[in-house]
Amino acid sequence: MSRSLVSFASGVVFAVGLGLAGMTDPAKVSAFLNLRGAWDPSLALVMVAAIAVHAWPARAALRWPRPLLDARFHTSPLRDVDTTLIAGSVLFGAGWGLAGYCPGPAIVAASAGRVEALWFTGAMVGGFALHAAATQPAAPDAEVASGTTDG
């Protein structure tokens, strides 16, 4: 129960921070990406501030034998840059630039009832489902799996 409460509280803090920083407004993202016009660096400042707040506690926590509310740390085993990572990054960046949303702000804006964010979030969840379907290994034939075959 305490793990769920900490997760919920973290999500609320994140959502409030996104809202206060104006990151749920696609116009803010467009202004950040507009290098030839009226460029707005505030998105970069929010990112740098978030990294600064997170970096030290995250590195310090990894020195602990285990997290406070779990049996082990859940870190990514992936360390190499490969074509899947590059393709995913390009798709993420393109979607972010075209729609002005990335997942966190989209969910916050959708929960506030912004119609375009609801569409974006639905498309994002659909993309998750397509990726899961495309990357899951094929289920073995039922006969082969049970060890029975004709022949």
- The percent of residues in the chain predicted with pLDDT above 90, rounded, is 22
Tell me: the pLDDT tens digits for 60-87?
A: 988 899 988 888 888 888 788 999 889 9
Q: Is the pTM of this model over 0.75?
A: no
pLDDT score at 117:
93
DSSP secondary structure letters along the chain: -HHHHHHHHHHHHHHHHHHHTTTT-HHHHHHHH-SSSS--THHHHHHHHHHHHHHHHHHHHTTSSS-TTSSS-------S--HHHHHHHHHHHHHHHHHS--HHHHHHHHHTT-HHHHHHHHHHHHHHHHHHHHHSPPPPPHHHHHT----
Tell me: the pLDDT tens digits for 20-63?
A: 888 888 988 888 888 888 888 988 898 899 899 889 988 898 88
Q: Which one is predicted more confidently, 121 or 144? A: 121
